[in-house]
Amino acid sequence: MNFLAPAFLAGLAAIAVPVIIHLIHRERRVVVEFPSLMFLQRIPYRSVRRQKIRHLLLLLLRCVALALLVAAFARPFFERRRAALSTTGAREVVVLLDRSSSMGYADRWTKAKDAARKVVTGLSAGDRATLVLFANDASVASEPMATPDRIIAAINAAKLSAEGTRYGAALKLASQILAASTLPRREVVVITDFQKIGWANHNEIVFPRGTTVTPVDLGGASSSDVAVSQVTTDRDSTPQRDRVTVAARLINTSAATKAVAATLSIGGRDVQTQRAILPASGAQQVAFTPIAVPSGATKGVVHITPDSLTPDDVLNFTIAPDEAVPVLIVEPTNPRENQSLFLSRALAIGDRPSFRIDVKRVDALTPRDFDGRALVVLDEVAPPTGPVGARLRALIDGGGGLVVAPGGSRTETWPAEWRALLPAVGQTVDRTNDAGGTLSSVDYAHPIFEIFNAPRSGDFSTARFLRYRALTAQPGMTILARFDDGSPALVERLVGRGKLLTWASSLDSYWTNLPLQPVFLPFVHQLGKHAGRYADPRPWFTAGEVLDLSRHGELTAPFLSGRAADSTTELVLEAPSGQRERVTAGGPNHMITLREQGFYELRGRDTPVGSGRPIAVNVDPAESDLSHLDPQDMVAAVTAVNGQRQPGGDVFASTPQEQEQRQKVWWYLLLGALLLMGIETLLSNRLSKAMSP
Amino acid sequence: MTAPALPTISYLDPSVLARIGNLELLARTVVEGFINGLHRSPLLGASTDFAEHRAYMPGDDIRRIDWRLFARSDRHYVKEYEADTNTNFNVILDISPSMRYGASADDGRPSKLTYACYLAACLTYFSSLQRDRVALATIDHDIVDYVPPSAKHLQLILHTLDRVDRKGRDAKVTPGRSTLLAPLRKLSETMRRRSFVVLISDFYEDPDQVIDALSHLRGRGNDLIVFHLLDPRELNFSFSDASNFIDMETGDKMPIIPEYLRQQYRELVREHTAALAKRIGESRADYSVFDTSKPLDRALFAFLSARQRFNRVR
């Protein structure tokens, strides 16, 4: 037995403590004044018995408990001296099989599986093997105790993935398997194309000492590939037409010039084909002629002539019609002149996103006016009641946004159910006498204001607020901005899935000159995007990426509007392979890992197959970079100890720290010590009671 | 000597009495409460008026001749009253260092010295009610304080006891061997009248030496009551932890494991008290062992019984 911290053994001297207590200390610790020792002195000198050890069991318990405690601190472990690496002894073999997209190059995948089968068939009796499949992440495909037949079955069943390559996860998993092994010989077989892009030197991943790493290199220095690495869609929207220009970026990693034909398919139909000459190790942009934007979200594909690595010869994307944020501005029955002009004009500028704005008088509102709205602005209007109010409330609960600017309206007459949701609106603060108030405190961490955080990114201090309503935030509300007198300027409250924002001043120049300031435009855009739950639409995702449906309302919105919106409404996501998964927009199971290349289809439970929202998924563009890593670099990194390379695997044993950590003997010693101390306490209490008069 | 059972008088509990700062008040509380209790006792009967007739002796005041008896018997007898039978009542209090033992803050139990002061105060007050001449002597290895007998010395005695008690509580114990022989011999020489002597001590001396010391008192015809005060821990030796024991009298130290010596110690104490009881009884004195945790009424009752017995004998 060895000790990791032998210095603690000096603590064994503490064993003397109970002996001292037994022999000396206990008798001398108390001084008692007694009237006379006349009688005691007549008694034969019995106090000599203090020299004898009493209650041997008690003493023994204390000593053993202390010894165990000291031993636990010294971190003992049983050193397992293994035989030198030789042909004798059972092996723990971990087969790391790369199934990333790049392994689809030529016949690499077939060769890889053959190599894996060869390793498994070469196992001797007593050997154990574990198959680990890895791409973006790693997973054990067969348990360590599996028979060779089952491992080979797992190899045969393994399929190529559309994901990228990351060696770190696989090496870490192999390290853990080996560290837990008790077999004398350990071996890792890495079967991969050693794609350089997947390797980052993980100094923290080091195999146990003596581990043999056998690389099976299926890559080659002369790999060549042409791929579609990027597609962009530029909108050209005019009142007369709505067109989109698709452009594809093609890359050539080979050392020779390549001539390729790139074809654009829309809705499954080839639309155009462009030819391009790609220079050696270069890239070229191919622009297709503009096409009309389809009426709904449509599948688009740019594919080139297939080469040795086919997955990256195709790039899928979706084209969706104008996904403008629908905004409804509600004005009072008798609005001021141009009351909503500043707001509507500011929102109308820009196309990322574009806002579709409708302005309506409050007396003309109907429940249907809220259908399909992402954002409603009550511009100095009391929240509606009755069916209109209920529809507005349902809109907010379902994820819509409501911006309320009370202005000079009499809020005390507002419906109680709305007043409960809004901050308390007090009297109008008149700052005309002191040249107006300013915004003194802004929460730059909030999405509305985060773009103003950087220097020279917008200055709110120049805006003057001559009048505003004194707001009082209620529990559950967040104050996003304050005036210089501390009064809240913008208050947010989450209601259901939606957001309710209250602006203390006016949205036009009646009470403030903010609409005349440069920051007004980005401010209302940010306000609209945030309240309207707008997320930049993604034309495609990368395989291995996690899709969070709660952050992509544009994907789920078509299946949630027109009904009682509920984030837990069940949707169906069908993978390109046909595998279906039940998901929700914001409830359970709203995050899904997209693993397959092609088009996923998201639809409601009642939506016919093929009518759902397509979601394009492509292989990781980085997989097209077939740059080769020297296998020895990886072997040296994972077998190094303290940065030093090990001498040829001569000793097959873990480090003392690893052995100690694995065995955890100190834990049992500590438990034993505690148990003995408990017994000692019980015993000594019992003895004390027995001895007391 | 075992006292008959008395009605429980809770305010005679030493721990309760220890809270009373004034000794006179304490003595009055104890004695009057005790007398009230005695009214229900079958042993009540002592009269303080007429005591006996004595034949007229020349020199007697002729006003004290009982003329009625002369008319009946034609002899001159002098009437003697209780007031005339009063004796000197001497309390001898041992204030040696060992008497300071026993004060316990936990249960409010007083030290042996405090208990002895209470006892002395009560007995003195009691005797003062009987119009005895009261006296006090505190002794160590010699006489420390002496208040001569007088019917007017109650307050002086109480004051002396109070001072002794306070000094015993406050002063640090300085070891010093004390003996009864020297001070008792001196005291006996000062007693010119036959007296009633109460000796209060813890008697950490050999019984032979004690008897030798007491013989000087008894030799003068004094009536003697011996109160042997012991703390409960002196009786039971109820210590649990092994400790260094220091003799308060001599300063000697001795490492002791109480559980091993307890039995022998109790045996020796029992033998000591038995020897004292036997030897003191043989010298026609009255001897009582008192546990300082027990109420004072036992001591008062023992005193009263002894006094009655001595009266009958006289």
Q: What is the mean pLDDT of residues B10-15?
A: 53
Write the residue in B241, B245, B257 that is nearest to A50 by C-beta. Answer: B257
Q: Are residues B18 and B72 in the same domain?
A: no
HSE at residue A195, side-chain half, CA atoms within 13 A, is: 27
Residues 6 or more apart whose Cβ sits within 8 Å of residue A207: A171, A174, A175, A178, A186, A188, A213, A638, A639
pLDDT value of residue B173 = 60
Which residues in chain A are classed under CATH 2.60.40.10?
226-320
| pLDDT band per the 50, 70, 90 thresholds, residue B45 | very low
Write the residue in B99, B247, B257 that is nearest to A37 by C-beta. Answer: B247
For chain A positions 38-57, those within 8 Å of chain B (CB to CB) are 38-43, 46-47, 49-50
Amino acid at A199: W
Tens-digit pLDDT profile for residues A304-327: 988 888 888 999 998 877 667 889
In a domain, B4, yes or no: no
Q: Are residues B54 and B198 in the same domain?
A: no
Q: Say how far apart CA B149 and CA B167 lie, in whole Å.
A: 23
pLDDT value of residue A398 = 77
Residue B271 Cα, gap to closest chain A Cα (Å): 10
In a domain, B245, yes or no: yes
pLDDT value of residue A554 = 75
pLDDT value of residue A693 = 47
pLDDT value of residue A29 = 55
Q: What is the mean pLDDT of residues B186-215?
A: 86
Q: Say how far apart CA B129 and CA B27 lie, in whole Å.
A: 11
Residues 6 or more apart whose Cβ sits within 8 Å of residue A400: A370, A373, A374, A375, A376, A498, A532, A533
User: Across the interface, do B204 and A38 touch by the CB < 8 Å criterion?
Assistant: yes
Q: Look at chain B and count its residues.
A: 314
Q: What is the mean pLDDT of residues A31-52?
A: 70
Q: Which residues pair with B54 in a beta bridge?
A: B78
Q: Tell me the CA distances in angstroms from A315 to A177, A244, A246, A544, A621, one per residue in order.
A: 38, 17, 12, 15, 9
Q: What angle do CA A144, A150, A151 make, to 5 degrees?
A: 60
B242 touches chain A (CB under 8 A): yes
Specify the DSSP class assigned to residue A102.
Answer: G
pLDDT value of residue B33 = 57
pLDDT value of residue B221 = 74
Chain A residue with Cα closest to B246: A33
Q: What is the mean pLDDT of chain B?
A: 77
Q: Say how far apart CA A583 and CA A575 lie, in whole Å.
A: 12
Q: What is the mean pLDDT of residues B30-38?
A: 56
Residue range of the domain that includes B76: 50-82
Residues 6 or more apart whose Cβ sits within 8 Å of residue A39: B265, B268, B269, B272
User: Strands A570-574 and A598-604: what pairing?
Assistant: antiparallel
Q: Residue A263: pLDDT above 90?
A: yes
Q: Is A273 exposed, middle or buried (0-12, 13-18, 19+ CB in 10 A)?
A: middle
Residue with tokens 């297709």: A288
In a domain, B2, yes or no: no
Tens-digit pLDDT profile for residues B224-248: 889 899 998 888 888 877 788 888 8
Q: Which of A537, A639, A566 is nearest to A293 (CA)?
A: A537
Q: Please give the share of chain A, as a percent, with pLDDT higher than 90.
A: 24
Structure tokens at B63: 């006003």
Structure tokens at A509: 């120049």
| pLDDT band per the 50, 70, 90 thresholds, residue A660 | confident
Helix (H) or strand (E) holding A62: helix A56-73
Q: Which of B202, B241, B70, B167 is nearest to A36 (CA)?
A: B202
Q: Say how far apart CA B275 and CA B286 lie, in whole Å.
A: 13
In a domain, B5, yes or no: no
Query: Considering all CA atoms of chain B, what is the largest pairwise distance in Å, rounded to the nearest integer?
Result: 79
Q: Residue A51: pLDDT above 80?
A: no
Higher-confidence residue of A540 and B304: namely A540
Give the number of other Cβ atoms within 10 Å of residue A545's Cβ.
18
Amino acid at B283: S
Q: Are residues B175 and B57 in the same domain?
A: no
Q: Please give the share of chain A, as a percent, with pLDDT higher than 70.
A: 89
Chain B residue with Cα closest to A689: B240
Q: Say how far apart CA B216 and CA B183 lie, in whole Å.
A: 10
pLDDT value of residue B38 = 45
Q: What is the mean pLDDT of residues A28-38?
A: 77
Q: Say how far apart CA A268 and CA A200 lie, in whole Å.
A: 39
Write the residue in A27, A39, A50 that is nearest to B268 by C-beta. Answer: A39
pLDDT value of residue A675 = 92
Which residues in chain A are classed under CATH 3.40.50.410?
91-222+627-653
Tens-digit pLDDT profile for residues A376-402: 999 999 999 889 999 999 888 877 899
Q: What is the mean pLDDT of chain A?
A: 83
Q: Are residues B78 and B179 in the same domain?
A: no
The 3-state DSSP class for residue A228 equals: strand
Residue B255: list chain A partners with CB under 8 A. Answer: 27-28, 47, 50
Which of A20, A38, A684 should one mutate to test binding to chain B, selecting the residue with the greatest count of B CBs within 10 A? Answer: A38
Q: Please give the share of chain B, as a percent, with pLDDT higher than 90.
A: 8
Burial annotation A369-400 (CB, 10 A radius, 16+ → b, else e): bbeebbbbbbbbbbbbeeebbebbbbbbbbbb
Q: Residue B50: pLDDT above 70?
A: no
Q: Going by CATH, does the domain composed of A325-531 fall within 3.40.50.880?
A: yes
pLDDT value of residue B307 = 64
Q: Residue A511: pLDDT above 90?
A: yes
Q: Say how far apart CA A488 and CA A15 lie, in whole Å.
A: 68
In a domain, B156, yes or no: yes
Q: Are residues B153 and B131 in the same domain?
A: yes
Q: What is the mean pLDDT of residues A211-220?
A: 85
Higher-confidence residue of B127 and A618: namely A618
Q: Residue A226: pLDDT above 80?
A: yes
Q: Say how far apart CA B70 and CA B75 lie, in whole Å.
A: 5
Q: Residue A652: pLDDT above 70?
A: no
Weakest-pLDDT range from A73-87, A253-267, A328-342: A73-87
Based on the structure, what is the number of domains in chain B?
Answer: 2
Q: Residue A48: pLDDT above 50?
A: no
Q: What is the mean pLDDT of residues A523-534?
A: 88
Q: Which residues pair with B150 in a beta bridge?
A: B134
**A226-320 CATH choice from 3.40.120.10, 2.60.40.10, 2.40.40.20, 2.70.50.60:** 2.60.40.10
Residues 6 or more apart whose Cβ sits within 8 Å of residue B173: A33, B97, B100, B248
Fold of A91-222+627-653: Rossmann fold (3.40.50)
Q: Residue A84: pLDDT above 60?
A: no
Q: Is A452 exposed, middle or buried (0-12, 13-18, 19+ CB in 10 A)?
A: middle
Q: Say how far apart CA A168 and CA A199 lie, in whole Å.
A: 7
| pLDDT band per the 50, 70, 90 thresholds, residue B293 | confident
| pLDDT band per the 50, 70, 90 thresholds, residue A533 | confident
Q: Are residues B26 and B119 in the same domain?
A: yes
Q: Say how far apart CA A137 and CA A627 lie, in whole Å.
A: 20
User: Strands B143-150 and B243-247: what pairing?
Assistant: unpaired
Residue A585 near residue A569 (C-beta atoms within 8 A): yes
Q: What CATH number has the domain bearing residue B99?
A: 3.40.50.410
Q: Are residues B27 and B115 in the same domain?
A: yes
User: Across the interface, do A43 and B261 touch by the CB < 8 Å criterion?
Assistant: yes
Q: Are residues B289 and B200 in the same domain?
A: yes
User: Strands B253-256 and A375-379: what pairing?
Assistant: unpaired
pLDDT value of residue A30 = 72
User: Across the interface, do B257 and A46 touch by the CB < 8 Å criterion?
Assistant: yes
Q: Are residues B176 and B309 in the same domain?
A: yes
Q: Residue A430: pLDDT above 50?
A: yes
pLDDT value of residue A166 = 87
pLDDT value of residue A651 = 38
Chain A residue with Cα closest to B175: A35
Tens-digit pLDDT profile for residues A144-157: 667 888 888 899 99
3-state class percentages of chain A: helix first, strand second, coil last, to nearest 5: 30, 30, 40
Q: Residue A501: pLDDT above 90?
A: yes
pLDDT value of residue A435 = 84
Weakest-pLDDT range from A82-96, A389-403, A465-479: A82-96
pLDDT value of residue A3 = 80
Amino acid at B11: Y
Choose the most confident range, by mean pLDDT, from A71-80, A117-126, A199-208, A472-481: A472-481
Write the residue in A27, A31, A39 that is nearest to B269 by C-beta. Answer: A39
Specify the DSSP class assigned to residue A288.
Answer: P
User: Across the interface, do B260 and A29 touch by the CB < 8 Å criterion?
Assistant: no
Render A417-483 in DSSP notation, one character per residue.
HHHHHSPEEEEEEE-GGGT-B-EEEE-TTSTTTGGG-STTS--GGG--BSEEEEEEPPTTEEEEEEE
The 3-state DSSP class for residue B19 equals: coil
Weakest-pLDDT range from A483-492, A599-608, A682-691, B154-163: A682-691
Q: Are residues B54 and B123 in the same domain?
A: no
CA A414 to chain centre: 43
Choose the most confident range, by mean pLDDT, from A85-94, A200-209, B194-203: B194-203
A456 touches chain B (CB under 8 A): no
Higher-confidence residue of A363 and A42: namely A363
Q: Which of A147, A78, A17 is nearest to A669 (CA)?
A: A78
Weakest-pLDDT range from A49-53, A447-451, A634-638: A49-53
Write the residue in B239, B242, B252 that is nearest to A26 by C-beta. Answer: B242
Q: Going by CATH, does the domain composed of A541-618 fall within 2.60.40?
A: yes
pLDDT value of residue A201 = 64
Q: Say how far apart CA B130 and CA B127 lie, in whole Å.
A: 5
Backbone angle region of A486, left / alpha / beta, with phi > 0 → left and psi within -120 to 50 → alpha:
left
B232 touches chain A (CB under 8 A): no
pLDDT value of residue A43 = 77
Which of B254, B266, B269, B270 should one mutate to test binding to chain A, selecting the residue with the greatest count of A CBs within 10 A? Answer: B254
3-state class percentages of chain B: helix first, strand second, coil last, to nearest 5: 45, 20, 35
Higher-confidence residue of A297 and A262: namely A262
Higher-confidence residue of B273 and B172: namely B273
Give the number of other Cβ atoms within 10 Å of residue B186's Cβ.
15
Q: Are residues B62 and B127 in the same domain?
A: no
B177 touches chain A (CB under 8 A): no
Tens-digit pLDDT profile for residues B54-107: 888 888 888 888 898 899 988 899 887 654 456 788 899 999 888 888 877 667
Residue B104: list chain A partners with CB under 8 A. Answer: none
pTM score of the predicted model = 0.48
Specify the DSSP class assigned to residue A349.
Answer: S
Write the residue in A33, A43, A693 that is nearest to B248 by C-beta. Answer: A33
Q: Are residues B63 and B172 in the same domain?
A: no
User: Strands B88-94 and B195-201: what pairing?
Assistant: parallel
| pLDDT band per the 50, 70, 90 thresholds, residue B305 | confident
